[in-house]
A and B are shown apart, each in its own frame.
Chain A
Amino acid sequence: MHYYRSHVLVCAGSTCVTSGCRAVKETILEGIKSHQLEEEIKVVETGCMGFCELGPLVVVYPEGVMYCRVKAEDAAVIVNEHLLKGRIVKQLLYQDPNTRKPVPLVKDLHFLSKQTKIAMRNAGLINPKDIEEYIAGEGYFALAKVLSSMSPEEVIIEIKKSGLRGRGGAGFLTGLKWEFTAKAQGTQKYVVCNGDEGVPGVFMDRSILEGDPHSVIEAMAVAGYAIGADQGYVYVRAEYPLAVEKLRHAINQACEYGLLGENILGSGFNFDVNIRVGAGAFVCGEETALLASIEGRRGEPRPRPPFPANEGLWGKPTLINNVETFSSIPPIILKGGEWYASMGTEKSKGTKVFALTGKVNNTGLIEIPMGIPLEEIIFDIGGGIPDDKKLKAVQTGGPTGGFIPAEHVNVNMDYESLDELGTQIGSGSLTVLDEDTCVVDLVKFFVEFCQEESCGKCAPCRIGTKRMLEILERITRGEGKVEDIEALEKLCNYIKNTALCGLGQAAPNPVLSMLRYFRPELEAHVRDKHYPASVCAFPFDSPCQNTVEGGVR
């Protein structure tokens, strides 16, 4: 075994790729070569490290020094100064905006200190293309434990004990779902991983698939053992080519190492994983639409019952879970369900990955125990609102979620508390809005998204979302009528109550949440033709014309 004196981790999650991390990596490699340090220093391309605001990121071990916003030119300096001479490059360090002091070590980052990484434990740390790095972190130990010392029933008991709930958005108790599928009649069963991640602004599933694909593969094999399935499918949206590539590579490696395929670890248990790629439909994140898509049929949801646990892929019992849900499984097996349940709240156990975006200083992925107050996420972990602007609201759950207005910013982040406020945890999207955000305009954007992504099967969603959008478009164009608000509310409640699937049922949520917390802003648009955030101010030439009392013509 070759020992390196230093490991240089270059974050290569999709976000950093688009920011130019490949050039950074190439420069570092060139520099290492030119100084003949190839035997001493290893460059590792990892998955998403989570601090997306600061990318491209380079972390040098063993010190754990983090360099942020690294450009190719900076990379040369890192090689010459840090790698060659051991001198930290101060100008590339992260500067804490509050203390104004540099924070050289990644472990000292405040952003990190509040996080408990379980699903994201390996992303950003290991080379996803090297299965041995995964194994070195107790990878595939859970599968080995399960195959050698646990019965399928015992596995399910452990998952039930953990209290893990589906992380894709529905929040259904994972252990219960595994139990239903295990009990379903039939010899052919399937395990499906939902990697469609369609909610705009959310990218934890992508980061896990890119940065730690083995955790999903291992978990699927564990699930297969627990429910009696020998075949798994990972459905990845077409827009995630890096994830597909990393996953494919990982599957092949796992097969090579005998951790997938026939007679895994000599246990007699067989499990195969195949990839199925989507084709650009948000609705295919809905489980029955996803299964239809895998079957080669038009990706449209169907009524349930029957549920996939009893009749899923090709009519067979199918367990379908989200990427983040699966990624949480191996640690639960190794450390026990009780350990997982010791975190979080009474009904919302464990940790959740949130995508913190919008008007906040520290954007990126954070994994925190359920129940942490939103306030802490925004102002502590998130580093507060830039430019000293006032917090207006936090939008959660994406285009099918709602608002947490500033007055409720102390809410605890768990499923129940957010349901009470009329929004959801959902997939974990947290978009911070400040005083300059027009809620009406944002809601129109969300409704437009749902309307475009509607599959078209049922009338309430197909036509209803279109009519909702038309009303909002008129309002944001300055042509809103007073009757529009009541008409909109009636329409929303109807669609929510009548649509066939979750997309339609949740599409009105942003509107209903706006009506609950920001009705005055909507009324200002419609009645007064006054646009508080000056975003929809089409009839005005400049924002100041709009904001002056009484308007100016």
Chain B
Amino acid sequence: MPMVTLTIDGKEVQVEQGTTVLEAAKKVNINIPTLCYLKDINVIGACRVCVVEVKGARTLQAACVTPAAENMVVLTNTPAVRNSRRMTLELILSNHPFECLTCVRNQNCELQSLAEAFGIREVRYTGANPEHKEDNSSVSLVRDPDKCILCRRCVSVCEKVQTVCAIGPQGRGFETVIAPGVDMVLAESNCVNCSQCVLVCPTGALCERDQTEQVWAALADPKKHVVVQTAPAVRVSIGEMFGKEPGSVATGQMVAAIRKLGFDKVFDTDFTADLTIMEEGSELLERVKTGGTLPLITSCSPGWIKFIEHFYPTLLPHVSTCKSPQQMFGALAKTFYAEKAGVDPADVFSVSIMPCTAKKFEAQRPEMNASGYQDVDVVLTTRELGRMFKQAGIDFNELPEENYDDPLGISTGAAVIFGATGGVMEAALRTVYEIVTGNTLASVDFVDVRGLEGVKEATVKVGDLDVKVAVAHGLGNARKLLDALQAGEANYHFIEIMCCPGGCIGGGGQPIPTNYEIRQKRINGIYTADEAMTLRKSHENPAIQQLYKEYLEKPLGHKSHELLHTKYTPRGQFKVD
């Protein structure tokens, strides 16, 4: 790659041809402020905050999209540049509701941060503002277009990373609004509820549907027996809301904090993650034996499920009939557990803490009522849980560690790795290998399926069979595998698909910011947690063994089918009245 040398604020810097002025400036520790810029996803030069002076150019240039050129002379901090950035911010603020104090992104908003950094004390140009309707149709996320600054990050993520294209700019000019097309609301569109858009939104224009009030009400209701399950990914990220490094394994403190909130029982989704491996591993082996539809594709990611229901409904027979761990838990909580605890299932209020907003949609899918009641009553995201801790005045970092309750709190390392992309696959391989061969694994680590590469492939020798597996995270990567499958070119036995980049640790309900570096750190935390556990294979979980003995009888048995398996809904792409 040829190199170019340019001068930025008097400093000479050499970069590869194709590097932008923004990136070149970073190399010499000049952080040009940005707003709409999102590395690799939204690089469009739209907001004009990152403008710089380039000698010889007629106008100010946006650093994020200007390629560095040989002998270019750039000035990033002249009066003209500062004045222009200030004006841009003032204009954006003139078009923005001044609701910071009551906004979900209060103190965590990029527009707020820039206004603060630039010392904006007055907005000189005020005028009319378009009035858009809030979109409350979705159970997962809320759109508040009045707060939108039209940075297009959400559109880019939905189009380029997730390849769903649920939202886009509608109308033109001043009246532009980011929305689903044809006057639809989110609930009517192909939105899969993943909230990757929420993660990248710089303001409060997009946020999760907050259901904490429902949980507070249940906790205060003496009649309710409130149980909670926590997803693997939450324990390596909840600490971020209290200043901990991303990826810090804060399981014990998280359990202690949740218990302080007043839940009757603090259980772990990891328990049913182990259960999922038992059921799904058996399902895989059965399909291999009986010539069933292969490849088998995992089904625990509800964003992924809605995606395939919309875009590839003919491939649904490939999807495992296993419910997600969340839903398996929900079904068991109001049957197996309620019986055991002697509680009327009608009084059991089942809460789950998830890194995910699509889980809110999953919980209220009409078929998720195997217990006779809505199996999971409320799903809260990691962000909502963190807010509950703050409201309760809990000093998270000072808490002593506590353990989950029995029996739905016992789990293995195979379960916790569900939170990372490749984790479900690795967990399944740990069990399938030992069950099929009867041998103990030399190493439980299947590193080939780990990591942030979009599509990963591996071949694992299991006895006489060369098991071919593939792992994809982010729906754009899922599409690659599905297109190959449709073309008859996907010769795998088993595919793991996670809706969100990085897997659940990168889910739409996770603390903001969630970027590439933070995803990597959280993934490291997941495998650290795995290594710290005594038991690392799902079939070794004594509580799961007990569950089968006492209640379910065997994997894919009658009771399993009743409680732990589900069916899907072909949705197609276009709403038909």
CB distance from B50 to the nearest CB of A (A): 11
Interface contact A470-B127, CB-CB below 8 Å: yes
Which B residues are CB-close (under 8 A) to A458? 45-48
Which A residues are CB-close (under 8 A) to B127? 466-467, 470
Partner among B83, B91, B171 whose Cβ is within 8 Å of the Cβ of A467: B91
Interface contact A451-B174, CB-CB below 8 Å: yes
Cα A453 to Cα B175 in complex, Å, equals: 11
Q: Is residue A460 within 8 Å, beta carbon to beta carbon, of the partner chain?
A: yes
CB distance from B151 to the nearest CB of A (A): 9
Partner among B51, B84, B128 whose Cβ is within 8 Å of the Cβ of A466: B128
Q: A487-B125, A498-B51, A498-B60 are in contact. Are A303 and B44 (CB under 8 A)?
A: yes
Partner among A298, A452, A464, A500 whose Cβ is within 8 Å of the Cβ of B91: A464
Which B residues are CB-close (under 8 A) to A500? 45-46, 48, 62
Which B residues are CB-close (under 8 A) to A281? 172
Q: Is residue B108 within 8 Å, beta carbon to beta carbon, of the partner chain?
A: no
Which A residues are CB-close (under 8 A) to B124? 487
Which A residues are CB-close (under 8 A) to B91? 459-460, 463-464, 467
Interface contact B173-A460, CB-CB below 8 Å: no
Interface contact A456-B94, CB-CB below 8 Å: no
CB distance from A307 to the nearest CB of B (A): 12
Interface contact A498-B46, CB-CB below 8 Å: no
CB distance from A443 to the nearest CB of B (A): 18
Which B residues are CB-close (under 8 A) to A497? 59-60, 80, 84
- Among A462, A497, A498, A499, residue most surrounded by chain B Cβ atoms (within 10 Å): A498
Q: A454-B173, A454-B174, A466-B127 are in contact. Are A459 and B47 (CB under 8 A)?
A: yes
Partner among B47, B65, B67, B150 whose Cβ is within 8 Å of the Cβ of A456: B150
Interface contact B66-A303, CB-CB below 8 Å: yes
Q: Is residue A62 within 8 Å, beta carbon to beta carbon, of the partner chain?
A: no
Q: Tell me which residues from 149 to 187 in chain B have a Cβ below 8 Å from any Cβ of chain A.
A: 149-150, 152, 168-169, 171-176
CB distance from A492 to the nearest CB of B (A): 11
Interface contact A303-B88, CB-CB below 8 Å: no
Q: Is residue B95 within 8 Å, beta carbon to beta carbon, of the partner chain?
A: yes
Q: A500-B46, A505-B59 are in contact. Are A462 and B150 (CB under 8 A)?
A: yes
- Among A490, A494, A499, residue most surrounded by chain B Cβ atoms (within 10 Å): A494
Partner among B62, B149, B150 whose Cβ is within 8 Å of the Cβ of A303: B62
Interface contact A463-B66, CB-CB below 8 Å: no
Which A residues are CB-close (under 8 A) to B66? 303, 305
Q: A452-B173, A494-B83, A496-B59 are in contact. Are A459 and B45 (CB under 8 A)?
A: no
Interface contact A491-B44, CB-CB below 8 Å: no
Cα A303 to Cα B43 in complex, Å, equals: 10
Q: Tell me which residues from 476 to 524 in chain A have a Cβ below 8 Å from any Cβ of chain B.
A: 487, 490-491, 494, 496-500, 505
Cα A454 to Cα B62 in complex, Å, equals: 19
Interface contact A298-B169, CB-CB below 8 Å: yes
Which B residues are CB-close (under 8 A) to A491? 87, 125
Q: Is residue A82 within 8 Å, beta carbon to beta carbon, of the partner chain?
A: no
Closest to A505 in B: B59
Q: A451-B174, A452-B173, A459-B92 are in contact. Are A498 and B150 (CB under 8 A)?
A: no
Q: Is residue A457 within 8 Å, beta carbon to beta carbon, of the partner chain?
A: yes
Q: Tell me which residues from 31 to 82 in chain B have a Cβ below 8 Å from any Cβ of chain A.
A: 44-48, 51, 59-60, 62, 65-67, 80
Interface size class of A (residues with CB under 8 A): 20 to 34
Closest to A466 in B: B174
Q: Is residue A69 within 8 Å, beta carbon to beta carbon, of the partner chain?
A: no
Which A residues are CB-close (under 8 A) to B67? 305
Q: Is residue A302 within 8 Å, beta carbon to beta carbon, of the partner chain?
A: yes
Which B residues are CB-close (under 8 A) to A498? 48, 51, 59-60, 84, 87-88
Q: A303-B65, A470-B128 are in contact. Are A462 and B88 (CB under 8 A)?
A: no
Q: Tell me which residues from 51 to 69 in chain A have a Cβ below 8 Å from any Cβ of chain B.
A: none
Cα A39 to Cα B264 in complex, Å, equals: 103
Q: Tell me which residues from 440 to 460 in chain A have a Cβ below 8 Å from any Cβ of chain B.
A: 451-460
The interface size of chain B toward A, counting residues with CB under 8 Å, comes to: 36
Q: Tell me which residues from 420 to 474 in chain A have a Cβ below 8 Å from any Cβ of chain B.
A: 451-460, 462-467, 470
Q: Is the interface of A mostly helix, strand, loop or mixed?
A: helix
CB distance from B359 to the nearest CB of A (A): 33
Closest to B58 in A: A505
Interface contact B174-A463, CB-CB below 8 Å: yes
Interface contact A494-B150, CB-CB below 8 Å: no
Closest to B176 in A: A456
Closest to A487 in B: B124
Mask of A237-269 contacts with B, CB within 8 angstroms, 1/0: 000000000000000000000000000000000
CB distance from B318 to the nearest CB of A (A): 32
Which A residues are CB-close (under 8 A) to B48? 458-460, 498-500
Which B residues are CB-close (under 8 A) to A490? 87
Which A residues are CB-close (under 8 A) to B59? 496-499, 505
Cα A458 to Cα B169 in complex, Å, equals: 13
Which A residues are CB-close (under 8 A) to B60? 497-498
Interface contact B172-A456, CB-CB below 8 Å: yes
Cα A466 to Cα B173 in complex, Å, equals: 9
CB distance from B199 to the nearest CB of A (A): 22
Which B residues are CB-close (under 8 A) to A464? 91
Partner among B95, B168, B172 whose Cβ is within 8 Å of the Cβ of A455: B172
Interface contact B87-A455, CB-CB below 8 Å: no
Q: Tell me which residues from 73 to 101 in chain A have a Cβ below 8 Å from any Cβ of chain B.
A: none
Which B residues are CB-close (under 8 A) to A454? 172-174
Q: Tell me which residues from 92 to 125 in chain B have a Cβ below 8 Å from any Cβ of chain A.
A: 92, 94-95, 124-125
Interface contact B87-A494, CB-CB below 8 Å: yes
Interface contact B62-A463, CB-CB below 8 Å: no
Interface contact B46-A457, CB-CB below 8 Å: yes
Cα A136 to Cα B150 in complex, Å, equals: 55
Interface contact B88-A459, CB-CB below 8 Å: yes
Closest to B89 in A: A459
Q: A456-B173, A460-B88, A498-B88 are in contact. Are A467 and B46 (CB under 8 A)?
A: no
Cα A470 to Cα B48 in complex, Å, equals: 22
Which B residues are CB-close (under 8 A) to A470? 127-128
- Among A298, A305, A460, A499, residue most surrounded by chain B Cβ atoms (within 10 Å): A460
Cα A130 to Cα B288 in complex, Å, equals: 71
CB distance from B94 to the nearest CB of A (A): 7
Which A residues are CB-close (under 8 A) to B95? 463
Cα A433 to Cα B150 in complex, Å, equals: 39
Interface contact A455-B84, CB-CB below 8 Å: no
Cα A391 to Cα B91 in complex, Å, equals: 38
Q: A458-B46, A498-B60, A500-B62 are in contact. Are A463 and B172 (CB under 8 A)?
A: no
CB distance from B395 to the nearest CB of A (A): 42
Cα A452 to Cα B168 in complex, Å, equals: 20
Cα A454 to Cα B174 in complex, Å, equals: 7
Q: Closest 7 A-B residue pairs measured CB to CB? A: A456-B176, A454-B173, A463-B91, A470-B127, A303-B45, A303-B65, A467-B125
Besides A470-B127, A498-B88, 7 other A-B contacts (C-beta < 8 A) = A454-B173, A457-B150, A459-B46, A463-B174, A466-B127, A490-B87, A494-B84
Residues of A whose CB lies within 8 Å of any CB of B are 281, 298, 302-303, 305, 451-460, 462-467, 470, 487, 490-491, 494, 496-500, 505
Residues of B whose CB lies within 8 Å of any CB of A are 44-48, 51, 59-60, 62, 65-67, 80, 83-84, 87-88, 91-92, 94-95, 124-125, 127-128, 149-150, 152, 168-169, 171-176
18 CB < 8 A contacts A-B: A303-B65, A451-B173, A454-B172, A454-B173, A455-B173, A457-B152, A458-B45, A459-B91, A460-B48, A460-B88, A462-B150, A462-B173, A463-B92, A466-B174, A487-B125, A496-B59, A498-B59, A500-B48
